[in-house]
Amino acid sequence: MSSYPAVRLRRTRASGWSRRLHAENTLTPADLIWPLFVTEGQGMEEPIKSLPGVSRWSVDGIVARGREARDLGIPCVALFPNTPAHLRSDDGREALDPDNLMCRAVRALKDAVPEVGVLTDVALDPYTSHGHDGLVDAAGYVVNDTTADVLIGQALVQAEAGADIVAPSDMMDGRIGLIRAALEQGGHHNVQIMSYAAKYASAFYGPFRDAVGSRGLLKGDKKTYQMDSANAEEALREVALDLAEGADTIMVKPGLPYLDIVRAVKTRFEVPVFAYQVSGEYAMIEASAAVGAGDRDALVLETLMAFKRAGCSGVLTYYAAHAARLLSA
């Protein structure tokens, strides 16, 4: 008489060594990109109330975080500037200044820790007085083509400062092809483009807007250019266009609520896909940990593994340094 059951899937789960041996996905510090917020000044650290444990740093502090990333095995940092109010304008012209806060931080990082990759955000919301990612017309509509012209200049000054990856997060049509052509013409052949190809008009971005100083500035919403959360097939069309225009890698944003999009993009296109564990996702984990609803370390590692399981090559996360320490323990 045969034993019952013949197949016991629990056998491979019975011990730690066996679980490690049979793991289908792995998570290492090399899978992480660390978003950092830059502010003016010297020796400055400005804690962000809605992002507990996250701060804005002056350029010298950003360099220290770059060295920390290197020592932890984190391969890349992503920069987002908190532009002073007096430098914000309707046309976002500060984005084109080769000595703006972003470019100074890029140069300082590449001088101090050239082995750490630097990703820069290409969008106008940190520079506009109205908080939109592009230029607006008299009716308040974000205009596409004139915005794209400004984004080209923004990407070029960042590349010239030493950015390794430019990441357009604005969601204007056609901007990837224009930026790629400008980079090639400018001799920046090895500067990568990570396109925020599937960026949704999400309620999860609130703390980020605090961090870059744009909360309260926004007139209206961003639904005419960022994607509708109801749509998945449209995301695949966006990705196809951006790849055809020269994107090297693809971003899906937000992260956990859009893992189906990550999987669909990976399955359809078989290209490197990244996701952004955005500020609202981070804040929810922090709130859960603060009231004892979940263990922070376990929540961090489980959510990051979910991104890898869905098909991500890497994850932008404010937990990058914390997770790297956990993974190296």
Q: Is 266 a catalytic residue?
A: no
Spatial distance between the Cα atoms of 74 and 71, rounded to a whole number of angstroms:
8
Residue 222's φ and ψ, nearest 5 degrees, are: -115, 20
How far apart CA 220 and CA 203 sit, in angstroms, is: 14
Q: Which of these is catalytic: 199, 222, 266, 308?
A: 199
- 233 touches 310 (CB < 8 A): no
Q: Report d(CA 301, CA 279) in Å as an integer.
A: 16
Task: Find where tokens 């013409």 sit.
Answer: 185
Q: Residue 199 catalytic?
A: yes
Buried b (16+ CB within 10 A) or exposed e, 285-312: bbeebeeeeeebeebbbebbbbbbebbb
How many residues appear in the chain? 329
Burial of 19 (0-12, 13-18, 19+ CB in 10 A): exposed
Pairing of strands 165-168, 55-57: unpaired
Q: Which of 110, 253, 266, 308 is catalytic?
A: 253
Supply φ then ψ for residue 146, to 5 degrees. -70, -30
CA within 13 Å, CB half, 80: 24
Q: Where in the sequence numbering do the catalytic residues fall?
A: 199, 253
